[in-house]
Amino acid sequence: MSGLVLAVLLNPDRQSDCQHLAERLALPVLSAEQVMADSGFEFFLSYRDGALKLLDRQSLKKGGLQVEIEPRPGEQHSWPAPRKNILAQAIGKKTRTVMDATTGWAQDSLALFRMGYQLRCLERSPVLHALIADGFKRLSEKDWVQRRALEMPELIYGDAITLLGDLPQVDCIYLDPMFPPKRKKSALTKKSMAVLRHILGDDLDRMQLFEAAMSAAGKRVVIKSPDYAEPLAKPDQSFRSKLLRYDVFLR
Q: Taking the mean position of all CA atoms in its chain, how far away is CA 46?
A: 18
Amino acid at 183: R
Choose between 222 and 189: higher pLDDT: 222
pLDDT, position 245? 96
Contact 89, 239 (CB under 8 A): yes
pLDDT digits (tens, 9 = 90+) for 77-128: 778 999 999 999 999 999 999 999 999 999 999 999 999 999 999 999 999 9
pTM value?
Answer: 0.91
Mean pLDDT of the chain: 90
Determine which helix (DSSP H) or strand (DSSP E) holds 154, and give its type and residue range: strand 154-157
Q: What is the pLDDT of residue 178?
A: 81
Instruction: Render the burial of 231-246: b for 16+ CB within 10 Å, e for the rest.
Output: ebeebeeebeeeeebb
Confidence category of residue 188, pLDDT binned at 50, 70, 90? very low
Q: Which of 51, 9, 5, 16 is nearest to 32 (CA)?
A: 9
Residues near 76 by beta carbon (within 8 Å), at least 6 away in sequence = 82, 114
Percent of the chain surpassing pLDDT 70: 91
How far apart, in whole angstroms, are the C-alpha atoms of residue 18 and residue 8? 7
Q: List the beta bridge partners of residue 198.
A: none
pLDDT of 177 above 70: yes
| Beta carbons of 174 and 249 less than 8 angstroms apart | no
Cβ within 8 Å of residue 151, ≥6 positions away: 118
Q: How many CA atoms lie within 13 A of 156 on its CB side?
A: 19
SS3 5: coil
Q: What is the pLDDT of residues 126-174, one digit of tens each?
A: 999 999 999 999 999 999 999 999 999 999 999 999 999 999 999 999 9
Measured distance CA(19)–CA(45) in Å, rounded: 11
If you ran DSSP here, which 8-state letter would residue 102 be given?
S
Q: DSSP letters along 73-90, please?
A: TTS--SSSPPS-SHHHHH
CA–CA dist 60, 29 (Å, integer): 15
The answer to whether 136 touches 152, Cβ cutoff 8 Å, is: yes
Give the pLDDT mean for 178-192: 64
Pairing between strand 118-123 and 154-157?
A: parallel
- Residue 202: predicted pLDDT: 58
For Cα atoms 155, 157, 160, give the angle at the middle one, nearest 5 degrees: 100
The domains found in the chain, sorted by start residue, are 6-59 (no CATH), 86-250 (3.40.50.150)
pLDDT, tens digit, for every residue of 36-85? 887 788 899 999 999 999 998 888 888 899 999 998 777 777 789 999 99
